[in-house]
Amino acid sequence: MSASIVVVGGGITGLTAAYRLSKELPEATVTVVEADDRLGGKIRSSTFAGIAGIDEAADAFLTRVPEAMALADELGLGGQLTSPAAGSASVWWNGMHSIPEGLMLGVPTDLRKLARSKLLTWPGKLRAALEPILPATGVGADSVGKLIRKRFGKQVHERLVDPLVGSIYAADTDHFSLDGVPQIFDLASKNRSLLIGGRRMRAKSAAATGPIFATPIAGMAALTDALADALSASGVHLRTHATVASIARAEHGWNVMIEGDDAPLPADAIVLATPARTTAPLVAEISPEASRSLATFHHAGVVMVTLAVSAAEWPPELLCYSGYLVPKPVQRWVTAVSFASSKWSHWQPRDETGQPLVVLRISLGRDGRDLTDRSDDELLAAAVGEVGDHLGLVLHPVEHRLVRWPMAFPQYRPGHAARVAAIETALSADAPGIVVAGASYHGIGIPACIRQANLAARVLAGHVRSMRN
Ligand SMILES: Cc1cc2nc3c(=O)[nH]c(=O)nc-3n(C[C@H](O)[C@H](O)[C@H](O)COP(=O)(O)OP(=O)(O)OC[C@H]3O[C@@H](n4cnc5c(N)ncnc54)[C@H](O)[C@@H]3O)c2cc1C
């Protein structure tokens, strides 16, 4: 009898894991079980202001972590990718300030360039300038915020590193594990001075050619759609509107209980590609220790507001900017704004009279400030009002879209790596053939999710083969 493998969760991780499993074990029956009525999870694109494929969440993936580029190539999307137009990002700190050059995720690597910025005061710059002579700090503190304040002082943390890292992960870096930000973790673990180590690292990465980010021209969902098409073509069962309620031990392998089904779905192996908090109850019966730890994870909710405004109302001096970040001390609800039609040259909408529009993607909420339960009116008013205040404009959106992403970003609390290692150890002891993968564990970005899916598929293919022998 052919092996039966169940993948719980049809986001990028689950779909990629199913894709790899269908290649590794072509004779196995692979089923993806997804609670939502669509596949793709936190990747979704839709038509906005007449442009198809404007992303509702992720709008690009890193190219230097190679797994997403490799998958896009493999799925035939390699020739349909584009990269952001050049444009500088800013920080709003009682006025707009270009982000100084020579930063690595906000970490200064060039004091002369930092000195030219008005974002930091002179005492702030002088404190940062002490960093190269400080003794080693190490990574023991395991909080991005703690490390950066110790090394560079308060201003570099609150005006540079926290807004940059915070906007990527919706994080409060005082409660975010260093190992969740591999670039900073590497810098801190391999160098006494982050500034000197960062300068060396930048020099090395300057030799790497090509854009840092890429995205399918048709929107990020082109990636998950292409995966779903490939899965259908290779006979993988795709079940949407199907919520896994629990997993129980069976005589041989596992029984996956799906809400509303009369009979369980038998499985020899299972990938749990669901957020940690939702994974906890699924394994409560079979691995109580893993379940207890998964239940302690935090996930931050965010809201993405997309606006289209008349280009005639848009100040020409803003056209060279790709957007801005809002540091926590001056933050209300808006945390980051992307001038999306400047960032993406293929997003150039026009109104019904043919006049050009400007598209803004505005992020609201973060760890410690979940706004997903606020009303549409409140959220829209905050987006329009705060961005208008920042830019000194009165915005008159001709179209808007509001998308809530509850539990959007797992928050890697200090001690994250050890916590995940313990969960994996407990699961492999209690529930051989069941693995967890996805944004909650070894990296939140799309390439990291794909890498975890590749690994999960390899591990489970090995497990299934060993069962046969
Ligand atoms: C607003 C936003 C912007 C982002 N921007 C970027 C970006 O620009 N670049 C980047 O690289 N990353 C970005 N990310 C992060 C990245 O998109 C996500 O980390 C990644 O898509 C998560 O994929 P996943 O498959 O691990 O999880 P998910 O996409 O969360 O998929 C998990 C799936 O499991 C399903 N599920 C849950 N419980 C059950 C159950 N009991 N039974 C069955 N199914 C279940 C869910 O419905 C969901 O579809 C962004 C994320 C958000 C929210």
- pLDDT tens for 218-253 read 999 999 999 999 999 999 999 999 999 999 999 989
State the Cα–Cα distance between residues 97 and 343, nearest whole angstrom.
Answer: 18
Burial of 43 (0-12, 13-18, 19+ CB in 10 A): buried
Output the CA 381–ligand 1 centroid distance in Å.
27
β-strands 321-325, 88-92 pairing: parallel
- 79 within 8 A of 217, measured Cβ to Cβ: no
Q: Which helix (H) or strand (E) holds 72?
A: helix 67-74
**pLDDT tens digits, residue range 52-63?**
999 999 999 999
The pLDDT value recorded for residue 138 is 82
Output the CA 55–ligand 1 centroid distance in Å.
13
Output the CA 274–ligand 1 centroid distance in Å.
8
Q: How confident is the model at residue 204 (pLDDT cuts 50, 70, 90)?
A: confident
Report which ligand 1 atom has the smallest distance to the Cα of 245: 41
The pLDDT value recorded for residue 205 is 75
- 3-class SS of residue 349: coil
Output the CA 408–ligand 1 centroid distance in Å.
7
Tokens for 177?
């594990």
Q: How confident is the model at residue 133 (pLDDT cuts 50, 70, 90)?
A: very high
Which domains, and CATH codes, for the chain?
4-38+219-297+412-468 (3.50.50.60), 45-65+77-85+299-410 (3.90.660.20), 99-203 (1.10.3110.10)
How many of the other CB atoms lie within 10 Å of CB of 105?
A: 17
Question: Distances from the Cα of 350 to the Cαs of 53, 383, 456, in angstroms?
Answer: 15, 22, 44
For ligand 1, atom 10: residue with the closest CA: 445
Q: Residues 387, 303, 332, 275: is their CA dihedral positive or negative?
A: negative
Q: How confident is the model at residue 392 (pLDDT cuts 50, 70, 90)?
A: very high
How many of the other CB atoms lie within 10 Å of CB of 113?
A: 13
**Which of 274, 302, 362, 402 gets mutated to test ligand 1 (max ligand atoms within 8 A of its CB)?**
274
Output the CA 43–ligand 1 centroid distance in Å.
6
Output the CA 199–ligand 1 centroid distance in Å.
33
Q: C-alpha angle with apex 415: 411 to 420, nearest 5 degrees?
A: 75
State the Cα–Cα distance between residues 351 and 339, nearest whole angstrom.
Answer: 17
Q: Which helix (H) or strand (E) holds 380?
A: helix 376-391
Output the CA 302–ligand 1 centroid distance in Å.
12
Output the CA 146–ligand 1 centroid distance in Å.
28
How many of the other CB atoms lie within 10 Å of CB of 455?
A: 15
**Which of 6, 7, 42, 167 gets mutated to test ligand 1 (max ligand atoms within 8 A of its CB)?**
42
Output the CA 368–ligand 1 centroid distance in Å.
20
Report which ligand 1 atom has the smallest distance to the Cα of 58: 5
Tokens for 251?
């005589």
- 4 within 8 A of 10, measured Cβ to Cβ: no
How far out from the chain centre does Cα 111 lie? 30
Q: Which residues line ligand 1 (CB under 6 A)?
A: 8-14, 33-36, 41-43, 57-61, 243-244, 273-275, 278, 302, 304, 405, 408, 438-439, 444-446, 449
Q: Which helix (H) or strand (E) holds 357?
A: strand 357-364
- Minimal CA–CA distance to 401: which of 11, 59, 46, 52? 46
First to last CA, the chain: 14
Tokens for 410?
């797992």
Residue 195's φ and ψ, nearest 5 degrees, are -65, -45
Q: Residues 331, 47, 449, 419: is their CA dihedral positive or negative?
A: positive
Report which ligand 1 atom has the smallest distance to the Cα of 447: 11
- State the average pLDDT over residues 429-439: 97
The pLDDT value recorded for residue 86 is 73
- 172 within 8 A of 368, measured Cβ to Cβ: yes
State the Cα–Cα distance between residues 313 and 320, nearest whole angstrom.
Answer: 16
The pLDDT value recorded for residue 467 is 86
- State the average pLDDT over residues 181-204: 92
How far out from the chain centre does Cα 358 lie? 25
Q: Which residues are bridge partners to 51 per DSSP?
A: 48
Percent of the chain clearing pLDDT 70 (strictly above): 100
How many of the other CB atoms lie within 10 Å of CB of 116?
A: 11
The helix, strand and coil proportions of the chain, stated in percent and rounded to the nearest 5, come to 40, 25, 35
Output the CA 279–ligand 1 centroid distance in Å.
13
Report which ligand 1 atom has the smallest distance to the Cα of 13: 25
Mean pLDDT, all residues of the chain:
95
Q: Would the pLDDT of 141 be above 80?
A: no
Rg (CA), the chain: 23
- Minimal CA–CA distance to 188: which of 148, 219, 130, 159? 148
Report which ligand 1 atom has the smallest distance to the Cα of 408: 53
Report which ligand 1 atom has the smallest distance to the Cα of 448: 11
For ligand 1, atom 21: residue with the closest CA: 42
Output the CA 251–ligand 1 centroid distance in Å.
33
Report which ligand 1 atom has the smallest distance to the Cα of 42: 29
For ligand 1, atom 48: residue with the closest CA: 41
Torsion of CA 285, 290, 296, 299, to 10 degrees: -100
Residue 422's φ and ψ, nearest 5 degrees, are -70, -35
Q: Would the pLDDT of 73 be above 90?
A: yes
Q: How confident is the model at residue 457 (pLDDT cuts 50, 70, 90)?
A: very high
State the Cα–Cα distance between residues 296 and 256, nearest whole angstrom.
Answer: 23
